[in-house]
Structure formats: structure tokens, C-alpha cells
Chain A
Amino acid sequence: MKLPITSLCLLLCLHLAHAQEVVLKGIVTQSGSGGPLGGVVVTASGGAGTAITNDLGQYEISLTDGYENVTFSLEGYVSKTVFVGGKTQLDVSLKAKNSNEDVSVGFGSQSKSELTSSVSTITTDDVSPSPLINLEQSNQGKTTGMFVQNSSGKLGQGTKVRIRGGSSLSASNQPLYVVDGVPLTSGNQSNINPTNIAKIEILKDASAAAMYGSRAANGVILITTKSGGNGGISIDADYQYTMGQTPKKLDLYGPDEYNLQTIEYTLRSLSQDQYITRERLEQWQSSGSSTINLPDGSTVTMPAFYSELNNDTDWQDEVFRKANSHRANLSLQGGTEKLGFFSSLSYTTQEGILVGNKYNRFNAATSIDSKISDRISANLNLNYFYSKDFRLQEDQDLGAPLQAIVLPPSDTYDENNNFQLKVRSLEYNPLTEVNFSDNLGYNNSLVGSLGLKFDLSDALTFDVNGGLDYNNFRDELRQGPETRDGALSGRSQLGTSQLTNYIFNGWFTFAPEPAGDSKFSAVLGGSYQESNTTSTFRVSNVNSIDQLERLSPDDPILTTIDIPGQASVFVSSFGRLNYSLKDRYIFQVSGRMDGSSKFGEANRYGFFPAASGGWNVSNEPFLQDAGPLNFLKVKASYGLVGNTPQDDFLYRTNYFRMRYGQQDGIRLANLANTNLKWETTAQLDLGLDFGFLEDRISGSVNYYKKTTTDLLFPVPVSQTSGFASVLKNVGTMENTGYEFNLSTVNVESGTFSWSTDFNISFNENLVTDLNGANLIVGVNAFLEDQPAGVFYMRKYAGVNTATGEALYETEGGGTTTDWESAPRMVVGDPNPDYFGGLTNSLKFGNFDLSFMFQFVGGADLYWETGEFLANNGILNLNQTVDQADRWYAVGDEAPYPALNPFQENTFPSTRWLQDGSYIRLKTLTFTYNIPEAVTSNWGLNYMSIYIGGTNLLTFTEYEGYDPDVSYFDPLDGIVGQNISRGIDNFTAPQPKIFMTGIKIGL
């Protein structure tokens, strides 16, 4: 009842105030950071008066009747004009002009005009209201130099993020994520509630990333979560409903075509090839008879099951569904001058588009800023989350739902008989797995930090902060007696892992008052970070996790796997010096010295320095009246950053524990490599930032070259050592690229505005040296003088018209039917040549429309699914319709080989290699902001409703479900993940999502 009463009071006040002169009060803050802005000129229309905000951003201005426009303006900020509409309190936030925004750079921030390094910023306005709950996904296509690729459309799956190309072969290629000052080792950035994120900064070049030294080779992503305001309390709430579905259905055989294939399969298995033609097969199939009369008068009887293949099942409909999801957020922000706070709760429940897949997450976050005294301030950030993931089997496993698409369409299943197929009962129906197993992942995590800032003098501050990244995982898999793996007794397995990563930072910032034309500042500090992981795994043939957990450690039916813990320490000192002269010439030197426990004593320390310079050309006197040009800066940087191996303790000999019979034993895990050291990336960056027409047109161009040396690589060794390969620092790799972005404000009038952001990045990756070694995993390879993960396989060369066998290209350009003897060749590149995005935002009165296209070009994909789903029916699985166009009889000129079970033509070849380029309407949002006059009547600050969608349109020539795919088998480890690029193996597509939602503030 509180709300209506408040509104009533408000109405009453308004009414009373109407006739006489009114006083308008409020606070002006900075958009994004929320800090107060002093010196803002507040002007009322009609010459009623002006006012200037004080240091706390407060103002007070007299108006004639409270029904006029008020304009807020400040140098370096975009002016704002607001219709007062009878209010007496009006808080506004001003957006800094492009060139003047503060950018976090790690242990401090710099204004954009002072920045000499390459940093991209994504602010919160850009993030919501996307329905994607994973931070990486929601930033796909948003900025230059950051390539985001989804591994799968299953919920809770990983997302690949590559900043300016991967820089490693066997260590991680993911950027370092730093949440509120805490460098994560848990990978939990994906679980931060995207609506809580105030801003994301991507440190791309060495100059920016050198502050994170040995872990910065893949770029650094700084995530700043929302913090308290000062001023009144505001409450924001939003709710969103989405409905997802598969973006596409593949065109597969119907029952008739499948049965025709079954006839051919049977005849060829019996070596009755000579009479087969497409025409005859059609006749035999349409006759409906189980007895085939061959032209020579003999007959062939089809196997008994054939006559029962009379059902019609669309297996895609059986495994795809319309997926309903809900998300609700509630946040509270407020505070006083001394104490600001922000608090939020969020709950998300998502269904996957494949049956059985579901994801629930609860987020809670709190942030407190406190000014303890004039000289001491403190801040606390806590992000907690709990998620429960109803998972599916790995894509290549027979129990994965999408595997159902190869099942016979003329068969069906019996729900009352464990979903077994009625006719082909030996084929495994994934629905059995979905219905009789529980595959659950629990994540219970906290990312938090506590910082204190001491103003030692006006020029010198000292910051200390401590952070924690805690992560508790629990993976449960129960497979009932009805399933294949759990057959007869059931099978349960339980894996747990607990990661504790904590950090302690301290640093001084010295920024004296500028002396004359020169401005100087310095940062110098130290850091200690320790990360510990312990894991357990147990499995047994019992039919419940409870029962599994109750088994005593020495129960003979229990298998436990002894997993050694992991631990690492980084001890570091870092510093940065900035000097600028006349606001035109800017220099920065930064560096970090890291000590890491991951290496042997001789190689523990690494020094990663960087230097950069910038020239604000537009501040030169000769450019003061340069017409439309208002901002121009050129900058250059060069520096070193590093990368460490994923595993700890590789420098020393390690053993596993195991058991043989009833005896305990140990087994060598690796041989000591005392020479192991950092991978080092030297990076050159040249950039140009510009702004025209008061930043109505702004943008930047960047060129970079990254050279990584001492690449850690599993070098094959004589196996008489007991090992197939050992990790050594041997290789070098280069990434070269250009980035371009352009933001334009196309129209800006009182009621209509339209702005456009465009970005495109080109990257070329090349492994330049592997010391003569190579690594081939499946169809991907690391080869010298080729891009990392290049497609390396046999070239498909069509069909032998006489025999129907598949042909493969030989060395000399000829063809052979012998797959094994055909050489593997470099045939494609899974790494994109370019990628980017185009966003348009339109505002018309109370309506907002924004839509973003995202694109990837020049990336090849290997549709591994095709080895089964488009293999001319050689295993008598269901096929894509084009496979009917196969070779049937001598002389047929067909694109696909014969269905001949005695021929081996389903081995990997370019037959399934495809262009994976695409353009996609990634997001579309249409918002209606209910007029303030109405919402204030309801006692609300604002209220908006929106509809929209994600992945609504995709333009691609790719034949599979979705070109945004890169499946890897988690069992392959980090090297497998790095090398397996562009693989689609029964991988779930990204859903097409329709959404609607409401946002309320009070």
C-alpha cells in the first residue's frame, strides 16, 4: 500500500506547486561511474535562470512553473536537455564525450585522451537486456580484436574468447579475467550476472596488459561490477521471459527414402550389386514387399525387420523443443556521501532447446563504498552464485540427444519399454539416456574483494586490496539400469573440485599537481596470489549418488581416482610511469616482474616491460581550428607479456597414486623439465583515434603484430622414455592484424536520434617454428608455416564412375580410391580472416530500437556430423536428403559414393569441410519507455517494456545447424581444446530466442 500513498502525496504536492514559482533540486552524476559532477551549468529555457552544481553535484534552480526544459552542460560531457514536467527533484547523469571517459587500466584509470595503449570499453548500456546469461556470449561482435566463439548451444558450456588471435599452442588461449581487481583462475566470469556489470575493459596491447605481466599474453579483461551511488535510494527490478528454439532443422530422409536405403544396404551386404539402379530401388521400395525380385528371376528376401519399418518419426522434433526461460533481477542502489551501497539478487531458469537440458542460477551481489575519513576510503564487492546445470552427454556420445537424428525415420520407440526403438532395438535411443539418467553440475562460488585507499597526501595514495575467487564444483552422473552404460545395475559417478584463489595487492599512486605544462604520475606496487585446487572422483555400479557416497573407501565395488592437487603462487611487483607534456605528448612506461611457482628455480622470474607514446595531434595549436576535426591522436606501443602453462609443477617429476589388485602403488606422471619457462609475446601496436563534429563521428584504427616465442609444445620423444611427448619451450607464432571501428551519431534531434557503431577486425595467425615437430589431432594440426589448428586432411575428389568408390587426391594431382595412401594436405583454416559487428540504436520519443549484426568471415568448419549423417548411408543411418544423389550403377556421375558397406569411404576428408562464414542478426530489441509523466504518477522513476530476439536471422552457406560452433572433447585437455577448432560433431546450435521483458525503477 505504500506505493499508491506515495504517488498520492506526489500528486498532491504537484498540484499545490502548480501556480507559483518552483524550485528544482537535484544531483548530477557521471554516467557509468555514478560519481558526482561539479561545475555543471544548469540552464532553464525561457531565460528563467542558471545554476552551477557544487562538488557533490547538487544544484538548485528557480523555475517559472516547473513545466519548462532544463539543459545540463559541462565541458567534456554530452549536454542533456530534460523536460521537467512539474517535478521538483531531478537527478540526471551526463555521459562523458568519447575522448574524456575514464578507462580502467589495471591499478588505476586514465582518461581516453591520456591513453596510449589499446583498450576497448564496453559499458553496461551495451550489455543488457540481452537474454544471454553468459558474459562472453553477450559481448560477441561488440568490440574489435575480441573473437567470441561458442563451443555448443547446450547450456552452461564454455565459450572461446580470443583477443587478437590465440598466442599459445598448449597453454591457455583465454584472456585473463580480472573481476573487481581479482584475477580469476576459476573461469567464473561467465557466471557474473551481466546486469551487475558496470563496465568491461579489454586490454589488448602489451602496454596495457604489461601490468598483468606473465598472464597477459592473451589479453586482459577487466570487469567492474556496479557499486553504490550517493543520493537517494533507487530500486531497479526487471523480469524477462524468453522462448528459444532451434534456428534450423536439417532436411533428412523420410521413411520411404530410408527404407529404400535399407533395401540397397541389404542387397549390397549380400553382394547383390549388379542389378541396383535408383529406378529399381524405387520400384522395390514402393512395392511394399519384403521380397525383391531380381531381373535374373532370383529373389532376395529382406531381413525380418524390414516389413516393420512402417512408422514415421521426425527425430528432430523428438529431441528439439521450445525452451522457456525466465530471469528476474532486483537491485538496490543508494547511499550518502560517506557510504554508498549496491545490492542485487537475480534468479535465472533456462531451458535448453534439446530435451533434458536446463540451467538454473541464483546470483547475489553486494558492494559497499565507504569514506571512512577524509583520507581513508574502503570498498567491498561480493559476487556469489549458485547454479545447477541439468546437463547432457558429450556431443559425440550415443546418449547425446542430437545423436537421435541418425535413427531410422521409419522406426519409432516405446516409452513403456525404456524408449527402446521398436524395430531396430539394438540402436541406442538417446531418449533412454535423457529419461533414465541424471547428469547434474552444481557450482557454488564467490568472487569478492575488499580494498582500502589511503590518501597519504594530496599527491600520493596507497591502495591495498585483498580478493578471493572461490569455486566449488560438483558433477553428478547417475545412469539408470535402463541406459547403456548403466545396464542391469545402474552406474553413478561423482566428481568434485574445490578451488581457492586469493590475492593481495598493494600499490602507491603518485600524481602531483601538474607543474606547468607537464603532468606526471606513477604507480608502483606488489602482489601475491595463491591458487589451490583439490579434486575427487568416484564411480560405482550403483543406482544412486546417495548410495555412491555411502560406500566406504575400501568397498570393492567402489572406484576412486586419486587426483593430485594443484597449487600455484605468483609473487609480483609492478609499476607504471606516465608523463604528458602540454596535453599533447604522452609517454608511458609500465612493467611487471613476476615470480611463479610453476617453474624451476632457474626460471622462476620473468620481467615484462612495455613502453608507449601518444600524440594528441588535435591539441596542437595548428589544429585548433581544423574544421570538423575535434580529436586526433596517434599512438604506438611495444612490450612483452607472458603466458604460463596450465598445469602446475611441470618442472619437477610427479607421480600419481594407483592400485593394482589390493596393493598401493605409484606411477610416473611426467619427467622433470627444469628448463621450462614462460612463453613470451612481444607485441607492437600502432593506433589512431579520431573524432569529428564534436565526436558525432569517432573511431579508431589499429595495427598490431604479436610474436610469441618459447611456445610450450608437446614435443614428440622416443617412447622408450615411457612418454610419447614432453612439454618444452620450442615454438614461435605470430598474430598480425588490423582493427577498425567507427561510431557515428547519424541523427540527433530533440525527439529522434540514431547512432551506429561498426567494428571489424582482421587477424592472421601463423605458427612460424615448431623445431621441426608437428601435432595432428583428428583433422586439425599444428604445422610450421601454417595457422594454428589448420585443417589437415585428405582431399575428396568425387566418385569413381565405374565402381562408385570415393576418390581422394594424390600427391601429383591424380586420384586414388585408397584413402590411407592419399596424402593429407592443408585444406582450410578454422581461424576467421575477419569478424565484427554493426549496431544501430534508434530513439524516437519514448521508443528505442536497437539491432546488432555480427559477422565472421573466412573461417572454415569441419562438419564431422556428416561422417555419419551424410555418408551415403554406408552404416544405414538416416541421412540428409542430398545423399540420395549417390552413385547407384556403373556410369552414374554422382557427387556422392555408392552405399557399399565393403568400401571404406567415411573417413575424414574435405567432403565435409565447409565455409563457416556467416552474418547474423545477433540481437534486436524494441523498447517502449513509459513516459515519465505516467510513471511518476505510479511512483516509479521509470518503467520500460521491451520485446526482441537473439539469433533471429543467419545468413550462411554452412550446411550444419549453426556456424557459430567449435566443439572439443573436454577429455582432450588444454592442447586438445587449442587444436580442435571449427569442429561440429552433433553439436547443439545456438538457439533462436524471442524475448520480452519489463524494467522498473523506483
Chain B
Amino acid sequence: MQTFRKTLLKLIVPVMLMTGIVLTSCESLLDIDAENTISGEVLKDDASIEEALVGAYYNLMGIYDGANGGELLGGDFKLIPTLLTRRNNNEISWDDVNAPTYTNFIDKDILRTNIRVEANWRRAYEVLNTVNNVLANIDKVSDANLKNRLEGEALAIRGILYFEMVRLWGPQYMDANLSTPTIPLLTEPITEIAEIKTPELATLQAVYTQVETDLNRASTLLQSFGTNGTNISYYAVTAYQMRVALQKLDWEAAEDHANTIISSGEFALAATPLLAFNNNSNSTEDILAVQQTFANTTGDRSTGTGLVNHFSSLTESGIGTMRILEFSFYSSFVANSPQFSDNDIRSFVDEDVDETTRAQDITTAFYTNVLNTSTISSSKFMSADKVIPVIRLAEIHLSRAEAIFEQTETIESTALADLNAIRTRAGLNALEVSDFNGDPYAFYDSLVLERNREFLFEGIIFHDLKRWKAYGLDVRITSNDPLDNKFILPIPQAELDTWD
């Protein structure tokens, strides 16, 4: 046994030595990193905080995030309200084979399990978390000028997104609804798993207050940056302040904001309505727009996703799931029909198209749906590498006209000029006060009709109908009350399932 022990000892010493070496040097050996990674506490200097903010834009603008990714401003926030406003097989014959996840909206029966609702909900909060993170670290930006801009844009994103969310997931802004719980209102970042908690729903009033606070502060911070490239500018913030005021039926504020934009002279209406779309860069009319490039688009052709895929039926760019029924444009039985007149260039249809037609060949507002020739396609969003307008100057003009009218209930010349600016570039004649036979409400009706024509399928009219109804007008979404709860997106089931 003696020799055995000796041998054992001989054995153990080198092994201990060896494993000892291994274990003591372990800590450093295990601190490995891979190529091309970014990790840990990243938001610590000017460059990284700006990059994080770009990340927020990327998500806010709905750049492609997988087949079931939320598209926010770059897609679903236009498409969902559009489908909710239109009647299936009457105005739009939705292709529910190729785009089944949108069928709920055109059917006006939105399930909590709807994947589009969930995808946009999640991604919106990703954006909010990012900007909350940027704001929490904003003092680490050393360049004072840059700090103002980044803080202003981050606040603007938060204000804009909470506003867009609360008007989709919450009821219309009106006294009866002010204390209604709507959506979670988070202003602090979540940076690790332990910080995730069951959220509380903020009241409608609380969300609007946050929206206005954020936009007001953003407006101050961004004022000196002018049009601020393609990022959110002072004017984009002002435009959203106008939208908020309109939604709140605050006509005076709406008019003020609209005036600020129009009188700045920074923007000009495109020569024709068609020129406001499918541009490589922002048109003179774009106050805020989604920047698409070939490399970063809001959808993906091979998965049949994105605004362009649904709108376009051209072989090179889409599958034309939004099959528009042309007769509805002229039917007086269709609620909110644009009722185009003959020479309105926003109504022209190109019937000479086939599988080889390309976007550049289309010079009309509509064309025959290549894949379903008894329907037509809108040419507003035809190419995946062109910008998608979020707010155009046209909306400012028509909104200002409406705001002025509501304050005076007379036909003011500024308001009439606003209306005519939109009409004349669409090939319609300018109207005179005399055309209304002294009936100011006829002028108002023209304004509403013009919105229906100008913003057709842009997701704007849905929100108009809600505020008009709240104002006491007899308006309908198809045959429904716009304030019906079925026009409020549900909180996703997947979210509710995680609540304690």
C-alpha cells in the first residue's frame, strides 16, 4: 500500500497543478467576446446615443422586422385605419388568402389574438423603451447642440408614438372618456429582465398630457434646427401638435400650429397630387416621411409584407392584396366616398398594364390590378425604395381651413385659399365664395369631401371620423358609429396573459 500511496501522490500533484492552472486562469479565459458585437452599457457617449436614437427611428418607421413585424408609421398605422374605414367587397376586396392577418380589420372584428395588433404593440413599446433609454442617458452627450437635438427628437418620438397609440388603442378624446384607462404610459427605461413589471393603464387624460408635454418641450429644443434633414423637425412636431389639437377639437391651437408651418415657407405643395408620392427623397410637401432605401424598406417582397406589397400589384413590387373596387368612388351609397368628379386627376385609372409594367410607367392615381383585373390598385405606394409620407403639407392646409371654419362658421378667404390650393393642383377648378350660395356649411362639406379625396387610403380619415362624431356630426364608418368600441384596438391577449 505504501508504494500505491506514493504513486497516487505523484499523480495528484501534477494534476492539481494542471487543474489549478486551469481554474485560476479561468476567469480571464471565460471573458471572451466575438467579432462584431455590441453589448453591455452601450449608451455612454455622443455617437452611441445618437445611434440608439437612429434605432428608435428604424422601429418607429416600421423598417422590415420579419413577416409578422409591426410597421407603425411606415405601414400598419396607415393600413389598419384604412381597412377599418372601408367595407369589404364593396370598397375593397381584401385578399385574405395572401394577407389573412389583416382580415380582422376589414371585417371590423378585431381579435385580441390578432398578430398585427400584437406586433405593433410590441414594437411601439420597443421604440418607447429606446427613447426612454436615450432620455435617461441624455446628460452623457457632451456636445450641447447635439444634446438639444437628440433630446428634442427623442421627446418628439415619444410624444408622437403615444399619440398614435392612444388614438388607436384608446377612445376618442372627449370629456366622458378622460378618466378611461387606455394604455401603459412608461417614461423610464427597462434595461434588464428584473425590471419588467405588470404595467398600469394610464387614463386618456394622462396620456394626452404626456403627449403634449413631450411635444411642447421637443418643439422648444428643435426650433433652432429648421427642417432637420429627414429626422423629426420642429415643423414635424408642430404638425403633430396640430393633429393633437384637432383630435381634441381645439380649433384655435390647431390653426396656430398650421399657421406656423405654412407661414414658415419651408414647404410647398407638389405640383400635382401624384408627385407627392413615390419620391426618392422627401418632396417639398413632406413634413415627415419614412425613409425607405432599397436596403431598408418597410416590407419584404418574398414574404408579401409592407405597405408597398399590399398597395402595389406590379410584378416587381407587390402582390396587390388591397384590391380596390372602382365603382365605390362614385357611389353615393358608400359612406365617406371620395365622389371624384370627372377631371380629378386623383381618380384616373390606367387600364393598360400587365405583368411587365413597372412603377415608372404608371402616371395615374390608379391602375388595373395586375393580379386581379376586375379591381384596381392605388399608385400611392408603388416602390419599396421610395419615401412614404407621414404628414404632408396638404393635410396642414385642409386642417387649417377646417380649424378656421369651426371658429368662425363663415367662409374665410384663408380657408378658401387652402381648399383651392388642394383642388387646383388636382385639376379641379378653384371655388369662389359665391359657389356656396351663401351656405357656409356647404363649404364645410367641401372640406370634408376634399379630405376624403386627398387622403384616400392614407389612414387619416378614420381618425377624422372619430373626432367629427365626437363633435356631434352624423358620420358613419360604413354603417357603424365611429365611436363604437369595436373601432378601438384591443390590448393583445399575449400582453394580458403576462399580467399578474
For B417, list chain A residues within 8 Å (CB): none
- A524-B15, A875-B97 known; A652-B39 Cβ under 8 A: yes
Q: Is the CB of B125 within 8 A of A569?
A: no
B494 nearest CB across to chain A (Å): 6
Contact B7–A659 (Cβ < 8 Å): no
Q: Which among A508, A653, A657, A659 is the interface contact of B191 at CB below 8 angstroms?
A: A653
Chain A residues with CB under 8 Å of B186's CB are 720
Interface set, chain A 550-605, CB cutoff 8 A to B: 556-560, 562-569, 571-573, 593, 595-597, 604
Complex interface: chain B residues within 8 A of A659 (CB)? 54, 58, 293, 295-296
A562 touches B36 (CB 8 A): yes
Q: Do B198 and A718 touch across chains, with their CB atoms under 8 A apart?
A: yes
Q: Once the chains bind, are A723 and B293 in contact (CB under 8 Å)?
A: no
State whether B32 touches A654 (Cβ < 8 A).
Answer: no
B22 in contact with A526 (CB, 8 Å): yes
B144 at the interface (CB under 8 A from A): no
Decide: A722 and B18 in contact? CB cutoff 8 A: no
Cβ of A792 to closest chain B Cβ, rounded Å: 15
- Return A695 CB to nearest CB of chain B, in Å: 35
The answer to whether B34 and A718 touch across the interface, beta carbons within 8 angstroms, is: no
- Min C-beta distance of B373 to chain A, whole Å: 10
- Contact status of A719 and B125, CB under 8 A, knowing A673-B192, A726-B193: yes
Known: A426-B371, A666-B42, A722-B122. A661 touches B18 (CB 8 A): no
B118, chain A: closest CB distance, angstroms: 7
Q: Give which listed residue, A508, A530, A716, contacts B32 with CB less than 8 A.
A: A530
Q: Which of chain B's residues has its CB closest to A595's CB?
A: B26
B266 CB within 8 Å of chain A: no
Cα separation A566 to B32 with both chains bound (whole Å):
10
Q: In the complex, are the beta carbons of B38 and A718 less than 8 A apart?
A: no
Q: CB-defined interface of A672-696 with B at 8 Å, one 1/0 digit per residue?
A: 1111000000000000000000000
Are A556 and B30 in touch, CB under 8 angstroms?
Answer: no
Q: In chain A between 522 and 556, which residues have their CB closer than 8 angstroms to a CB of chain B?
A: 522, 524-526, 528, 530, 532-534, 540-541, 556
A654-B38 CB under 8 A given contacts A661-B291, A672-B191? yes
> How many angstroms from the CA of A520 to the CA of B311 in the assembled complex?
77
Q: Which of chain B's residues has its CB closest to A774's CB?
A: B497
Contacts known (A485-B302, A720-B186); A569 close to B4, Cβ less than 8 A: no
Evaluate contact between A671 and B193: CB separation under 8 angstroms: yes
- Asked if B356 is at the interface of the complex by the 8 Å CB criterion, the answer is yes
Per a CB cutoff under 8 Å, which of B22, B36, B54, B316 touches A660? B54
Q: Is A460 an interface residue (CB 8 A)?
A: yes
Determine, out of B45-53, B215-223, B427-435, B471-479, the stretch whose residues face the partner at the interface: B45-53
B358 at the interface (CB under 8 A from A): yes
Tell me the complex Cα distance, A658–B58, Å: 8
A573 in contact with B22 given A533-B34, A661-B293, A718-B498 (CB within 8 Å): yes
Contacts of B31 in A (CB 8 A): 597
Let me know if A526 and B54 touch, CB within 8 A.
Answer: no
B407 within 8 A of A: no
Shortest CB distance A987–B (Å): 20
- Say if the beta carbon of A663 comes within 8 Å of chain B: yes
Q: Determine the chain A residues whose CB is within 8 A of the CB of B59 once the complex forms.
A: 667
B15 with A567: CB separation less than 8 A: no
Task: State whether the Cβ of A388 lies closer than 8 Å to any Cβ in chain B.
Answer: no
In residues 357-399 of chain B, which contact A (Cβ within 8 Å)? Answer: 358, 371, 385
CB distance A728 to B193 under 8 Å? yes
Is A489 interfacial (CB-CB < 8 Å)? yes
The contact size tier of chain B is: 35 or more
Q: Judging by beta carbons under 8 Å apart, are A565 and B190 in contact?
A: no
Given A668-B55, A722-B190, check contact A564 B36 (CB 8 Å).
yes
Interface 1/0 per residue, B204-241 and A, CB below 8 Å? 00000000000000000000000000100000000000
> Is residue A372 within 8 Å, beta carbon to beta carbon, of the partner chain?
no
B32 touches A568 (CB 8 A): yes
Check: B129 CB closer than 8 A to any chain A CB: yes
Shortest distance from the beta carbon of A534 to any chain B beta carbon, whole Å: 5
Cα distance A664–B293 in the bound complex, in angstroms: 13
Inter-chain contact B358/A488, CB cutoff 8 Å: yes
Tell me if A595 and B30 are in contact (CB < 8 A).
yes
Chain A residues lying within 8 Å of B15, measured Cβ to Cβ, are 508, 524-525
Q: Are B111 and A569 in contact (CB under 8 A)?
A: no
Interface hub of B38, B111, B193 (most chain A Cβ within 10 A)? B193
Q: Which residue of B lies closest to A661 (CB)?
A: B291
Residue B495 lies at the interface, judged by CB distance under 8 Å to chain A:
yes
Q: Is B184 an interface residue (CB 8 A)?
A: yes
Nearest B residue to A567 by beta-carbon distance?
B34
Contact A671 B191 (CB under 8 A): yes
Asked whether B196 is an interface residue with its Cβ less than 8 Å from the other chain, the reply is yes
- Pair B494/A597 contact, Cβ less than 8 Å: no
Q: Known contacts A556-B294, A728-B193; decide if A515 and B4 are in contact (CB<8 Å).
A: yes
The residue that A567 contacts in the complex, of B14, B33, B315, with Cβ under 8 A, is B33
Given contacts A658-B58, A728-B193, A875-B97, contact A721 B48 (CB under 8 A): no
Whether A717 lies near B7 (C-beta < 8 A) is no
**Contact mask B285-307 → A, CB, 8 Å, 1/0?**
00000010111100001100000
Shortest Cβ distance from A541 into B: residue: B294
Query: Is A845 in contact with chain B by the CB < 8 A criterion?
Result: no
Asked if B32 and A567 make an inter-chain contact with CB atoms under 8 angstroms apart, the answer reads yes
From B8, B54, B190, B497, A716 is in contact (CB under 8 Å) with B497
Shortest CB-to-CB span from A612 to chain B, Å, is 22
- Looking at B42, B48, B58, the one whose CB has the most chain A CB atoms below 10 A away is B58
- What distance in Å separates the Cβ of A333 from its nearest Cβ neighbour in chain B? 35
Residue from B31, B121, B122, B184 with most neighbouring chain A CB atoms (10 Å)? B122
| Contact across chains for B11 and A569 when beta carbons are under 8 A apart | no
Interface residues in A457-509 by Cβ distance below 8 A to B read: 457, 459-460, 485, 487-489, 506, 508
Q: Are A566 and B34 in contact (CB under 8 A)?
A: yes
Q: Is the CB of B39 within 8 A of A489?
A: no
Closest residue of chain B to A534 (Cβ to Cβ) is B35
Cα(A722)–Cα(B358), bound, Å: 38
Interface: B438 (CB within 8 A): no
Q: Confirm or deny: A665 has a beta carbon within 8 angstroms of a beta carbon on chain B.
A: yes
B29 interfacial contact with A, CB 8 Å: yes
Known contacts A718-B499, A719-B118, A820-B111; A665/B193 CB under 8 A:
no
Complex formed: what's the CA distance from A596 to B36 in Å?
Answer: 20
- Pick the contact of B296: A559, A563, A656, A716 (CB < 8 A): A559
Residues of A within 8 A of B127 (CB): 722
Q: CB-CB < 8 A to A649: which residues of B? A: 34, 37, 39
Q: Does the CB pair B296–A721 fall under 8 Å?
A: no
Return chain B residues, CB-CB under 8 Å to A673: 192-193
Q: What residues on A are CB-neighbors of B40 within 8 Å?
A: 652-653
**Residue of A457, A572, A653, A875 with most chain B CB atoms under a 10 A cut-off:** A653
- Of A528, A530, A666, most buried by chain B (CB within 10 Å of CB) is A666
Chain A residues with CB under 8 Å of B39's CB are: 649, 652-655
Selected contact of B126 from candidates A489, A604, A665, A722, CB within 8 Å: A722
Q: Is the CB of B296 within 8 A of A719?
A: no
Given the interface pairs A604-B30, A719-B118, the reply to whether A658 lies near B63 with Cβ below 8 Å is yes
Q: How far is it, in angstroms, between the C-alpha of A283 and the C-alpha of B289 when the chains are bound?
A: 59
Could you name 5 residue pairs across A and B whose Cβ atoms are closer than 8 Å? A604-B26, A659-B54, A671-B192, A672-B192, A728-B193
Instruction: Using CB atoms and an 8 Å cutoff, list the residues of chain B in contact with chain A.
Output: 4, 7-8, 10-12, 14-15, 18-19, 22-23, 26, 29-42, 48, 51-59, 61, 63, 97, 111, 118, 121-123, 125-130, 184, 186, 190-193, 195-199, 230, 291, 293-296, 301-302, 315-316, 356, 358, 371, 385, 492, 494-495, 497-499
Chain A residues within CB distance 8 Å of chain B: 426, 457, 459-460, 485, 487-489, 506, 508, 510, 512, 515, 522, 524-526, 528, 530, 532-534, 540-541, 556-560, 562-569, 571-573, 593, 595-597, 604, 648-649, 652-668, 671-675, 716-724, 726, 728, 820, 875
Q: Can you name 16 extra interface pairs (CB under 8 A) apart from A659-B54, A719-B118?
A: A485-B302, A558-B294, A560-B295, A562-B36, A564-B34, A564-B36, A571-B26, A593-B23, A604-B30, A658-B63, A659-B58, A661-B57, A671-B193, A717-B193, A720-B199, A721-B125
